[in-house]
Structure 1
Amino acid sequence: MRMAFTSLGISEALQKTAASLGYTDAYPIQQQAIPAILAGRDVLALAQTGSGKTAGFVLPILERLSGQAPVADRRPRVLVLVPTRELAGQVGEVFKSLSAGLPRRIKIGMVFGGVSINPQMMRLHGTDVLVATPGRLLDLLERKALQLSGVEVLVLDEADKMLNLGFRDEMKQLLALLPGRQQNLLFSATMDGELQAITERLLRNPLRIEIAPEGSTPDQIRQLAYRVSAERKGPFLRYLIKEHKLQQVLVFVSSVRTADNLSAKLIKNGIPALPLHSQKSQGARTEALRRFKQGKLQVLVATDLASRGIDILELPHVINYDLPRSPKDYVHRIGRTGRAAATGEAISLITPEDEHHFGVIQKKMGRTVALLESEGINLHGV
């Protein structure tokens, strides 16, 4: 059920800015999280991609900061830990856009690896909200570029992904450096034993919010799959894009090499495309994402790691050129479409070698996906 932001305790200034950015009604996670965060409670939220969780913590944090004096040193009041630089940029931009209409300027900092550390160090003074990846934050702390003693709110965003990417030790180090009296907000798509141990140690009487069970996918995502031989995958992908006039297509692949090769082949066949992966420079990744989000790039070919910062409200098409290794990653991938109330289409290309694994994915989701034949389709010329 939808609910207006006016009933959630958010100031008129924030409401106006949110409305101008398209935030009209609050989604379920926002309905539960915002009042709890405003009341100072710890929150544990288990929610799938596209549920509206970012605004669910950004809005009440901005409400809190708007009534406080600006930070006058290098001790941020809010720390948001994220697993990737793309997600850091995404979350930082949400903070910036939603804070634009507040009576005082809220300074938002974003720090992540892959770029020079010195400019990030120089911009830290007076930062209210710091969005950071764990490794770069530890680098800055070792250089005494900031302190965590002033943190009043800690957000762990996509906490499960941080653990999966190997940030266990970094997270433990950082949690030990925090004052211990801060409000803690943990957001994750899944919960396992290791993350459960962190929540038990970190959270105090948290409000638990669970929007969707693990392995589920939004009902508004239309899922299709095509049986296709390995040698026909490339031509069949081009056929789908051209024949159905697909625009803003996010294509997932399993490796950096495939991302580069597939993008080059698409371009050669008249389809504007760019690869997005960890071996691209930060500038190239930012530019590719910018063009894709603005609808100026037809196809973005991405690996799983690089895709975490792709947040487009109405992304119409996701294609699994290669299947991911785990059912959870499949759910994360297709969850890039069908976000919030929008509809979307997810297409998977299934080789004979993939069929058993695709069956496991469907069983985990609790949903059957029709496997369509492609052998009779003429791919000559594509």
Structure 2
Amino acid sequence: MSFAQLGLSPALVKAVAAQKFPTPTPVQEGVIPEVLKGRDVLGIAQTGSGKTAAYALPILDRMQTNRAFRNRYVKTLVLVPTRELALQVGEVFLGFSAHMPISIKTLSVFGGVSINPQMMKLQGTDILVATPGRLLDLVEQKAVHLSEVETLVLDEADKMLNLGFEEEMRQILALLPKKRQNLLFSATLDNKVNAIQETLLREPVIIEIKEEESTVSNLITEIAYLVDTERKGPFLRYLIKHHQMKQVLVFVSATKRADHLVTKLATNGIKAVALHSGKSQGARTEALALFKKGKVQVLVATDLAARGIDVPELPHVINYDLPRSSKDYVHRIGRTGRAEATGEAITIVTPEDAHHFKIIQKQTKRTITTQETKEIDLKGF
């Protein structure tokens, strides 16, 4: 099926082609026609399945004839849990709208930076992508009004609820008009997500893309290495140097671990930067920009900070520390193998990790090839 067959206008079909999207993913096939019809949608799909484009494309399509007329009264509101995801979603809207015949303004707002520039930029905004706390700050300052919102999107609703945004979301929902289109997206349908969709959505179309239906896993080669704890750092450096990795995202369990690992890599001649919640927004944005441009080989990130990282054709992801849950494992490896590009996901497993790694494989229904590393000489690494 082509994007044109989904009902998108010629302008949006051209925009998709310009962004080099070959064919719709399963979630895009299911969601786009329903959003175009004005239906409420509950989309359940894993990271990397293309859900941002699934709602961005039809929203832009409908906005061609239904833009905001009153300044600071946005028509579309997208709520996300993190700053990085806000920027990523905003970039998707901007990427598609750049190829459209009319001007549609998208703005991403989030905390951790000065509010004044965001207040000024809100003028003329049609589509607002926001984290809940900063949105309420802007509403309190009367910099934006929500009474004319026609489409509400909750992206990564599971993360928003798990991070404790329920009260902020209740306040925001109370400011919205009752008559509107609601689009709810989540990687999982747990009790919290189910509860909010029952109160938020009206006769929704449910689009659920099970993991085995997604092409993402088919594009990713997964491998694990058994490594003694004291050889873990040298083995990571061996992997990067021996395989001449030019761009690799490394996941760790904590912010201090990230900073320590970056120092160790730099000492051994590997350019690296850290991305975690302990850094300012400016530092986080700069770190991601340096990594995307290829000016540093390695980006060391924690799970929360990595929400929203979208690097085209990222070739390597390494789990230096095991994730806490199987869901986080799927999210991590989903950073590679995107947009039809292949990728490699490597997990370093110490003896202490072995049992937990077996649980992750069982819960994700994966059998991951595991290799011993005792024979590898790590002197000099």
Q: TM-score, normalised by structure 1?
A: 0.96
After superposition, residues 95-174 of structure 1 pair within 5 angstroms as 95-174=93-172
Is residue 255 of structure 2 the alignment partner of residue 256 of structure 1? yes
| Other-structure match for 1:22 | 20
Shift of 1:71: 3.3
Q: Distance in 2 between matches of 1:313 and 1:182?
A: 33
Shift of 1:294: 2.8
- Check whether the contact 2:67–2:126 (CA below 8 A) recurs between aligned residues: no
The amino acid of 2:52's aligned partner reads: T
| Other-structure match for 1:285 | 284
- Check whether the contact 1:215–1:364 (CA below 8 A) recurs between aligned residues: no
- The 1:33/1:215 distance shift into structure 2, 3 A limit, reads closer
Matching residue within 181, 197, 204 for 1:183: 181
The amino acid of 1:41's aligned partner reads: R
After superposing the two structures, state which structure 1 stretch, 76-85 or 372-381, moved more: 372-381
- The 1:135/1:215 distance shift into structure 2, 3 A limit, reads farther
| Other-structure match for 1:347 | 346
Q: Distance in 1 between matches of 2:66 and 2:251?
A: 43
Shift of 1:181: 1.0
Q: Distance in 2 between matches of 1:186 and 1:44?
A: 5
| Other-structure match for 1:47 | 45
Q: Distance in 2 between matches of 1:203 and 1:234?
A: 48
2:245 partner SS: coil
- Check whether the contact 2:76–2:127 (CA below 8 A) recurs between aligned residues: yes
What per-residue deviation string (whole Å, max 9, x for no partner) do you get for residues 75-102 of structure 1? Answer: 1000000010000001101111110122
| Other-structure match for 1:326 | 325
| Identity level (%) | 64
The amino acid of 2:377's aligned partner reads: N
- Contiguous gaps of at least 5 residues in structure 2: none
Q: Distance in 1 between matches of 2:85 and 2:69?
A: 24
- The 1:70/1:147 distance shift into structure 2, 3 A limit, reads closer
Shift of 1:214: 9.4
| Other-structure match for 2:210 | 212
Q: Distance in 1 between matches of 2:212 and 2:274?
A: 29
What per-residue deviation string (whole Å, max 9, x for no partner) do you get for residues 17-57 of structure 1? Answer: 22111123111111111111000001111111111111111
Matching residue within 81, 84, 90 for 1:83: 81
| Other-structure match for 2:372 | 373
- Check whether the contact 2:68–2:74 (CA below 8 A) recurs between aligned residues: no
Q: Distance in 2 between matches of 1:246 and 1:103?
A: 41
- Contiguous gaps of at least 5 residues in structure 1: none
What per-residue deviation string (whole Å, max 9, x for no partner) do you get for residues 228-252 of structure 1? Answer: 1222111000000111111210000
1:345 partner SS: strand
The amino acid of 2:312's aligned partner reads: L
Shift of 1:312: 2.2
C-alpha RMSD over aligned residues: 1.6
Aligned length: 380
Structure 1 residue runs of 4+, over 3 Å off?
Answer: 213-217
Q: Distance in 2 between matches of 1:214 and 1:277?
A: 31
- Check whether the contact 1:276–1:288 (CA below 8 A) recurs between aligned residues: yes
After superposition, residues 201-240 of structure 1 pair within 5 angstroms as 201-213=199-211, 218-240=217-239
The amino acid of 1:357's aligned partner reads: H
Shift of 1:69: 4.1
The amino acid of 2:62's aligned partner reads: R
Q: Distance in 2 between matches of 1:305 and 1:346?
A: 19
Shift of 1:215: 12
Matching residue within 192, 195, 202 for 1:194: 192
After superposition, residues 68-79 of structure 1 pair within 5 angstroms as 68-79=66-77
| Other-structure match for 1:58 | 56
2:113 partner SS: coil
2:57 partner SS: helix
The amino acid of 1:339's aligned partner reads: R
1:271 partner SS: coil
